[in-house]
Structure 1
Amino acid sequence: MSRIGIHSFVWSASSNREALEKTLDQSREAGFDLIELSYLDPSHVDIPRLAKSIADRDLGVAISIGLPAEGDISSADKATAERGVDILERTVALTRDLGGSKLAGILQTAHGLETSAPTADSWKRSAHTLAEVAEKAKAAGVSLNIEIVNRFESNLLNTAAQGLAFIETSGSDNIFLHLDTFHMNIEEADVALALRHAAGKIGYFHIGESHRGFLGTGSIDWVAIFDALVAIGYADDITFESFSSEIVDEKLSRKTAIWRNLWQDNMELAKHARRFIDVGLETARRKQELVTASHRPGA
């Protein structure tokens, strides 16, 4: 069964001790199994204490980042690529030290709008460099999950099919897809078909509405998505992600253009999301049971 998670920025963008403890408590209160933490700086956080706090609440943890321009591993500039490798390796260690096994996000290139197309060389540089990081991450018990995002946040990987090709180029067995309904809704010809095509290579999954607010109030076809997840037997982590100008993070809010206040009561938002995901998956499972049952007379 999938662990159902929530992104920490639903609660707070702060990494001080009090805020992190409250984030963990609120995640548990809203019924989630996992907390996703983004851009956590180990130099400002007592990592052993946080790891214990997560474990004490019986929560799973995932870490997500987006590489900065000065740490783009697809760059032809050696120093830039090396900075990116250092960022990734330190974040792998952070994931391990917090008791997690998944590093997700835009790990393959810089996070942000690009004004030119990627090249074959940048693709190969990124794939081969990430494969080397992935091999070290495997020894730490951590998988790398590359987030496929829309064209306004990256120029390298915008569809699940591109992500699959990238993984093939890398040759790594420790790189997986991090798919996200918000981005898929923009880029994929058919989100459900893309999920089915990527079956077996999805390591992490973000659920977010088309406007990043309350689930079910946008344009995403949730029935098709839940049906596809059940059909492919996806049983890995599913994390709810939602952003509002109510909570601002300097590293993420501007890059993802979070200008509107889509919610104020984050507990109401979170509890609604948990119910929405549970009902969506349960309904899809019941449908699958109906269409696969033989219902033979006398059975």
Structure 2
Amino acid sequence: MADFVASSIAGAAAIVLGNPIDVIKVRLQSGSSSAPSRAPAFETWTSMFRGAAAPVITNGALNALLFVSFNRSLAILENDNHQPILRPSLHNVWLAGAFSGLVTFIVSTPTEVVKCRAQLYNEPNTTSWTVARDIWRSNGIRGLYHGGVITSLRDSIGYGFYFWAYEASKNILGLESETAKTLVAGGIAGCVTWATIYPLDVVKTRVQTQQLLQVPSHAGPSAYMGALDHARDIYRTEGLRGYFSGFWWCMGRAFFVNAVQWALYEYIMGLFSPAKAGATRREFEAHEQKYNL
């Protein structure tokens, strides 16, 4: 329970802090005529937080699926016999992360559809709720899972590298301060994750927002385009550079947001059970050994 509460609070805080840059990222990724190559101007100060409600509301459910599936699958892979897993194999960490990322597709896909569309609307009264309501009225449940395949692929690969990079970074970093180690490892994990999946995220954004945009297409402006169609179209019209629109904005956001999220998560866990947290750190030091790649 403590793990769920800590991850939910930390995740919600990270979403709110990183949303202004996420808005810029999505607008640059979309390839719309209203999104220039530089950072788009915000219409009002509230537009910096447009689309944040959807991921904040679903954050608890997503974290529940993510951490429960990750911990259970890692325990099975490590054959832990109900003993604490002190130094799991990084190979197993990646596999457990990839599986847990695939499971979160149930929540992440509708969240991404609503978030991305809300971030692109220019109307001042647009909210995540009005976007979700319009999608439901026009396309039902199917509309909320638009781009589900590319989203599940992105999440599976992304969370695999996310947990892998975090565990590996904490093992390699020679920082004495546990807080500093958590901050740096969290930031590195975020950057590694986005670097590995960014082209997939660009294609995902195009798929999920295509009804709002007039993106040039060989198939015609009104034709529905799947993920492969968008991937080909990006290369045809923008070249390899098109797969990395908004990349450096995302890298800056990834380091800052994930550093804060992991540090806040560790801090809240310490508040819930300080004795257990201290015992875990001492146990780690007493059983120091290398990861098995």
Classify the TM-score, shorter chain.
under 0.3
TM-score scaled to structure 2, two decimals?
Answer: 0.26
Greater fraction strand: 1
Instruction: Determine which structure has greater relative contact order: mean sequence separation of CA pairs < 8 Å that are 6+ residues apart, divided by chain length.
Output: 2
TM-score scaled to structure 1, two decimals?
Answer: 0.25
Who wins on radius of gyration, i.e. which is larger? 2
Greater fraction helix: 2
